[in-house]
A and B are shown apart, each in its own frame.
Chain A
């Protein structure tokens, strides 16, 4: 049991206070929370969402039982927000690929980022351009909900689990597991570089459903069979550059190289 619930009252317990915050992000993770649609009412009824700048204004309390945070640390302001939220929250949840594994913005880590910024701005003065890192490299994160975007049903399940005081856990199953039980076409067998076999499932293999390869937006399994997959890719004739491109897409190239070395 985790103690996220605030003090007991005569009628049970007060509702946990919740913050939903974004750093530099696309707000797609927050959209998935709002896209709970009819389910959203159930969530809102059971929680006190006291900090959610996307939909509410006004002063908010300074302590939270649960906090969701999406996005990357790009500015000093972002870092301040993250560190402050850590101090304010009992249970801090990183949500989405940017927060959990670096995501799309991490692509620049593998490029000359000084050169890259000059392609966009005439004046780069005062524009911050740091390396992109997952949030757990800045503060302690209690739970990661991965995915770009995360799966809204998974979000609802995790909230439900927290409400009964259980620490939610995402089962260590690959995307392939969910792909096969849904009988989608195996794109790896078709000769495409699909990362589903080493990627943490929970997305219901949604990309495969659309005929798109898995690009590991949920990060890797804890013990991925990366070396085997590399052999298959090599046999298929995937060039090193194409492999790097694929791994960079959601910022897992560094992670993958670490796994290969270990």
Chain B
């Protein structure tokens, strides 16, 4: 039996490798091997005050801390049966937009280098300086959105149960709104550059899962829905999404009807592509992404499209916030025992937090399902389908193509293990 082994895949968040077993030229199985330590975040939450959940779970991931804060808050609000008024929801949506914008921009920097023949993503700085500048500008805008509302871009501390500890600075929000057209122009400019990238060809049918609601391209709220027949409320997530652990592995992976499924930008586009804003729709046409799209390499393209959509969306939300006379930042609540689930769309896909709390306001049980834990299973099936097409390539070229597929998923191993 032959094996393809990659010990460490670079340009992903965290430590992971891959092993593929091949017998007589036939792929038997592909396994992602995660080498990150377990920090036992769900365990350390037990017995701690509910207000700490958003601060502690933010530390699951330095790339998407804001979405952990907000999802934790939503889950605990569900447990406490608190209703969050629209002005707070809008600010949270802006934070999530900022989070996805900055995370996607970084990933385009990391993954596009493969297509440009650069080993080092930072080489974009000198070799594609206009694109690099655009990426930095877009990221900074995303970070500023989070920072202005959440207090800080990495591990924000203002977003908690009931809203925000402090009202965001209105002047700064106004400035961000004024800056928005320039950032949108940068993103469109970046998409022109992106158009020249020739995304790998590949296709394998799978089920897409994302939040869905009738009003908008869902990021903050909606039912957990799929391209097949799934449509359940977040509260009932474990009736459709089943966690499982393979022998001596460190990730609790997730399956649906025994099968893998995909979450993330490409899944969201496939489920709600008709709800994109104008410029994002035009970009989708320009980048020739036709839905449904089963080429996971196009996850990168979907990120480019989402950046533009979310910058447009941010403008609407900022305008709404600044115009509104009814500015509420925090609602009070009473501690009581209960169980609640929160779900949001993180940059890499559906994120679920579930908590059981007691009448002292302490966490009794916590469960967190991250996007990477959900799509790793799908990635393995993709690898099994993709690798046979690489037969004619040299071992080096083969490795490069395999890594490109892995990177297209934008893995976050820290999130997956937590």
Binding site for B on A (CB under 8 A): 22-32, 34-35, 37-38, 40-41, 44, 49, 52-58, 72-75, 77-78, 103-105, 107-108, 111, 113, 116-117, 119-123, 125-129, 148-149, 206-207, 209-212, 245, 249
CA distance A105 to B43 in the complex (A): 10
Which of these, B38, B59, B153, contacts A128 with CB under 8 Å? B38
Closest Cβ neighbor of A27 among chain B residues: B62
B315 to chain A, nearest CB (A): 22
CA distance A34 to B15 in the complex (A): 19
Q: Are B63 and A27 in contact (CB under 8 A)?
A: yes
Q: Are B120 and A149 in contact (CB under 8 A)?
A: no
Contacts of A104 in B (CB 8 A): 39, 41, 44, 56, 59
Contacts of A209 in B (CB 8 A): 151, 166
Contacts of B36 in A (CB 8 A): 24, 75
14 new A-B pairs (CB below 8 Å) besides A28-B154, A245-B52?
A: A24-B37, A25-B62, A28-B61, A55-B11, A56-B10, A119-B46, A120-B42, A120-B252, A121-B38, A149-B152, A206-B152, A207-B151, A209-B151, A210-B151
Contacts of B136 in A (CB 8 A): 37-38, 40
Contacts of A74 in B (CB 8 A): 37-39
Q: How many A-B residue pairs have CB under 8 A?
A: 180
Q: Are A58 and B35 in contact (CB under 8 A)?
A: no
Closest Cβ neighbor of A217 among chain B residues: B155
Q: Are B414 and A26 in contact (CB under 8 A)?
A: yes
Q: Are A53 and B11 in contact (CB under 8 A)?
A: yes
Q: Are B158 and A212 in contact (CB under 8 A)?
A: yes
Contacts of B143 in A (CB 8 A): 35, 37
Which of these, A55, A119, A149, contacts B109 with CB under 8 Å? A55
Q: Are A27 and B120 in contact (CB under 8 A)?
A: no
The interface size bin for chain B is 35 or more
Selected A-B contacts with CB under 8 Å, 6 pairs: A24-B39, A37-B143, A54-B12, A129-B38, A206-B152, A210-B150
Q: Are A116 and B154 in contact (CB under 8 A)?
A: no
Q: Are B165 and A120 in contact (CB under 8 A)?
A: no
CA distance A64 to B320 in the complex (A): 51
Contacts of B8 in A (CB 8 A): 53
CA distance A148 to B61 in the complex (A): 12
Contacts of A27 in B (CB 8 A): 13-14, 61-63, 414
Q: Most A CB atoms within 10 A — which of B61, B122, B247?
A: B122
B250 located at the interface, meaning its Cβ lies under 8 Å from any Cβ of chain A in the complex: yes
Contacts of B365 in A (CB 8 A): 119
B74 located at the interface, meaning its Cβ lies under 8 Å from any Cβ of chain A in the complex: no
Report B54-68 residues with CB < 8 Å from chain A CB: 55-56, 59-63, 65
Closest Cβ neighbor of A185 among chain B residues: B166
* Among all A-B residue pairs, the 8 with the closest Cβ atoms: A74-B37, A28-B62, A210-B151, A24-B37, A57-B10, A116-B43, A56-B120, A211-B165
B140 located at the interface, meaning its Cβ lies under 8 Å from any Cβ of chain A in the complex: yes
B381 to chain A, nearest CB (A): 23
